[in-house]
């Protein structure tokens, strides 16, 4: 990486290489000092977070069967239900924003714009209390209802926006030729535009899975038994809050980085693949992209146009 | 109707949103500073710093914000007894919670800021820097006159998205008891369940009011300043 020229740095000569090495040594010392500070703070007899008794519980089966695995199951169940519902409602809302009828378009647009701005935690709290007082849901179904509604409403809006930007990124000729062979606008949308848009959306949808998994941790606030909440029970039982939070973080990071990697692989495949008109994946902008690396054109010259009759 | 007016008299809705705004501003400032450092590390030609930056972004971005807030407020503050406010001040609990909330928000969003800045730099074609070098500009001049002006313009849209996400994510610090909008909303609903829908609409509308102008401003800015290629 350091050998090849980037947009910021030319290929280093002998003096620059010495300078880089000095910076590397200084940087490594600073980073190690920061790490050492935290390790010392953790090992400090007053805190005593590095003793074996705080970490050994994670090697016993009880910690996993009684706490962590049920919590992980709760997280995955909530995420899976929300993903399935979000895809359905997201597609419906996205189609709603693209149809001919103006009032449907406006209604779906207003819904998406409003609920996109509402924090997921607020939506969960509202759904929880609405389920409690309005729908009279009781027992363990209530927190699950709150989590799923909160996640679904927000992520449907995100997906709707992805669908819309995916369809809008298609060349106008796709829609025009669909209409020209006699399909209705809705048929054109569902049989020609959407399949292509959804293919291009796949990486973004997969990255959204990471967001859903992370946001499901908010369910601990409305007493839904997911990974963070079961972890806090474990921390109370073994009096090891910091080790537990670190183990939880590792579990989340492993799952989410695996998902991110899958999204990246799909993106690569789409970029290589010959099918479809859209060659680059679409994003709806406001999704904080886990792997946002825009295409850097290899040259500033416009690409050659090989279509017949397009001589410049 | 009278229920609504007593509700608004009893609970300080504007005060809660003021806390949200303060969390947003301080969090954004911290995220911008830390994110810039991380972005500089990631694009630097030094392998160690690059790897450290990549690690930071991968670790933080894949951890739920709720967990980071818990780690800061419950782990580092309560268990390790590192406080960010003078322990003898009368507002110690409030200040300490608020400041650790800001730290958690700043650390979490720094990873997104770093990615935004880096993607901004990635939008600048290598040819731009090569052309600048070939007409004799040095490292500093290339950066100042050619690369960074284009990079910042490319980073505006993702930075705006991060700011909007940050505004909404301030609600997460309610999980450790910082009295901002979501915390107040929960209290209001607990004691006034009959006004559930009204309370939700008011609080949700507050966030629409906070995020919509920011979104419009950043969309306008990024369109206006976009580099045409």
Could you report the per-residue pLDDT of B38-65, keeping only the tens digit for each?
Answer: 998 988 888 899 999 999 999 999 999 9
What residues of B are in contact with residue A253 (Cβ under 8 Å)? 58-59, 62-63
Please tell me the distance in Å from A293's CA to the nearest CA on chain B: 6
Which residue on chain A is closest to B53 by alpha carbon?
A31
Whether A98 has its CB under 8 Å from any CB of chain B: the answer is no
Q: Which of A49, A213, A300 sits opposite B125 (nearest CB)?
A: A300
In chain A, positions 72-91, which contact chain B (CB-CB < 8 Å)? none
What residues of A are in contact with residue B189 (Cβ under 8 Å)? 125-126, 129
**What is residue A275's predicted lDDT score, i.e. its pLDDT?**
57
> Does residue A115 form part of some domain?
yes
Q: Which of A41, A122, A292 sits opposite B115 (nearest CB)?
A: A292
Overall number of domains in chain A? 1
- Name the average pLDDT for chain B: 88
Which whole number is the average pLDDT over A93-99? Answer: 92
**What is residue B57's predicted lDDT score, i.e. its pLDDT?**
93
Cβ pairs A/B, distance under 8 A = 208
Q: Which of A217, A221, A286 sits opposite B67 (nearest CB)?
A: A217
Which structural domain range is residue A157 located in?
Answer: 69-272
> Does residue A291 form part of some domain?
no
The pLDDT of residue A283 is above 70: no
The pLDDT of residue A22 is above 60: yes
pLDDT in tens, B87-108: 777 888 888 889 999 999 999 9
Domain chopping of chain B, boundaries: 2-225
Residue B71 and residue B51: Cα distance in Å, rounded?
A: 24
Residue B104 near residue B72, CB atoms below 8 Å: yes
The pLDDT of residue B153 is above 90: no
Which whole number is the average pLDDT over A167-186? Answer: 91
Residue A308 pLDDT class (50, 70, 90 cuts): low
Q: Which of B66, B80, B119 sits opposite A47 (nearest CB)?
A: B80
Q: How many CB atoms lie within 10 A of CB B154?
A: 21
Please tell me the distance in Å from B188's CA to the nearest CA on chain A: 11
- Name the average pLDDT for chain A: 83
The pLDDT of residue B22 is above 60: yes
> Does residue A167 form part of some domain?
yes
Residue A307 pLDDT class (50, 70, 90 cuts): low
**What is residue A292's predicted lDDT score, i.e. its pLDDT?**
36
Q: Which of B43, B81, B189 sits opposite A8 (nearest CB)?
A: B43
Which whole number is the average pLDDT over A162-186? Answer: 90
Output the domain CATH number for residue A268. Answer: 1.10.3720.10
Question: Is A252's CB within 8 Å of B48's CB?
Answer: no
ipTM surpasses cut 0.90: no
**What is residue A310's predicted lDDT score, i.e. its pLDDT?**
47
Question: Is B70's CB within 8 Å of A245's CB?
Answer: yes
- Is the domain spanning B2-225 CATH 1.10.3720.10? The answer is yes
**What is residue A302's predicted lDDT score, i.e. its pLDDT?**
41
> Does residue A31 form part of some domain?
no
Question: Is A249's CB within 8 Å of B63's CB?
Answer: yes
What whole-number percentage of chain A has pLDDT above 70?
A: 86
> Does residue A151 form part of some domain?
yes
The pLDDT of residue A167 is above 60: yes
> Does residue A300 form part of some domain?
no
Question: Is A7's CB within 8 Å of B124's CB?
Answer: yes
Which whole number is the average pLDDT over A221-229? Answer: 89
Please tell me the distance in Å from B175's CA to the nearest CA on chain A: 6
The pLDDT of residue A311 is above 70: no
- The single residue listed with the structure tokens 């910076």 is A23
């Amino acid at each position: 990486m350091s050998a090849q020229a980037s947009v910021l740095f030319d290929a280093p000569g002998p003096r620059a290489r010495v300078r880089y090495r000095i910076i590397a040594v200084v940087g490594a010392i600073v980073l190690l000092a920061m790490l050492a500070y935290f390790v010392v703070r953790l090992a400090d007899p007053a805190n005593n977070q590095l003793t074996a008794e705080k970490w050994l519980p994670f090697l016993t089966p009880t910690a996993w069967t009684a706490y962590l695995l049920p919590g992980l199951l709760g997280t995955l169940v909530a995420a899976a239900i929300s993903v399935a519902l979000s895809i359905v409602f997201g597609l419906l809302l996205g189609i709603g924003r693209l149809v001919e009828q103006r009032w449907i378009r406006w209604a779906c647009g207003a819904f998406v714009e409003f609920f996109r701005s509402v924090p997921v935690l607020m939506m969960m709290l509202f759904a929880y209390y609405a389920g409690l007082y309005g729908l009279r849901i009781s027992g363990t179904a209530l927190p699950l209802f709150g989590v799923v509604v909160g996640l679904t409403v927000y992520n449907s809006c995100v997906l709707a926006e992805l669908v819309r930007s995916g369809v809008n990124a298609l060349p106008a000729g796709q829609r025009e030729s669909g209409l020209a062979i006699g399909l209705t606008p809705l048929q054109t949308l569902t049989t020609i535009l959407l399949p292509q848009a959804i293919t291009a959306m796949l990486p973004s949808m997969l990255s959204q899975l990471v967001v859903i998994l992370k946001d499901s941790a908010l369910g601990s606030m409305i007493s839904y038994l997911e990974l963070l909440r079961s972890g806090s029970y474990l921390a109370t039982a073994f009096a090891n809050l910091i080790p537990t939070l670190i183990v939880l973080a590792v579990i989340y990071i492993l799952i989410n980085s695996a998902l991110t990697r899958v999204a990246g692989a799909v993106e690569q495949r789409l970029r290589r693949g010959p099918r479809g008109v859209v060659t680059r994946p679409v994003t709806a902008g406001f999704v904080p992209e886990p792997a946002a690396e825009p295409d850097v054109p290899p040259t500033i010259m416009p690409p050659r146009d090989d279509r017949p009759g397009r001589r410049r | 109707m009278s229920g609504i007016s007593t509700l608004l008299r009893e609970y300080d809705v504007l005060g809660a949103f003021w806390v949200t705004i303060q969390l947003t501003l301080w969090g954004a400032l911290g995220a911008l500073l830390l994110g810039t450092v991380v972005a500089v590390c990631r694009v630097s030609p030094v392998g160690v710093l690059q790897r450290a930056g990549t690690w930071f972004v991968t670790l933080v971005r894949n951890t739920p914000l709720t967990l980071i807030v818990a780690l800061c407020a419950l782990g580092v503050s309560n268990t390790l007894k590192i406080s960010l406010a003078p322990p003898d001040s009368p507002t110690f609990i409030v200040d300490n919670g608020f400041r650790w909330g800001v730290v958690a928000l700043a650390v979490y969003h720094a990873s997104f800021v770093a990615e935004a800045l880096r993607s901004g730099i990635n939008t600048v074609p290598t040819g731009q820097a090569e052309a600048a070098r070939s007409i004799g500009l040095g490292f500093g001049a290339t950066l100042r006159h050619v690369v960074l002006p284009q990079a910042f313009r490319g980073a505006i849209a993702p930075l705006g998205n991060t700011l909007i996400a940050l505004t909404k994510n301030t609600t997460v610090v309610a999980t450790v008891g910082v009295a901002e909008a979501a915390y107040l909303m929960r209290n209001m609903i607990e004691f006034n369940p009959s006004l559930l829908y009204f309370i939700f609409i008011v609080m949700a509308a507050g966030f629409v009011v906070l995020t919509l102008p920011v979104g419009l401003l950043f969309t306008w800015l990024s369109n206006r300043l976009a580099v045409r290629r």
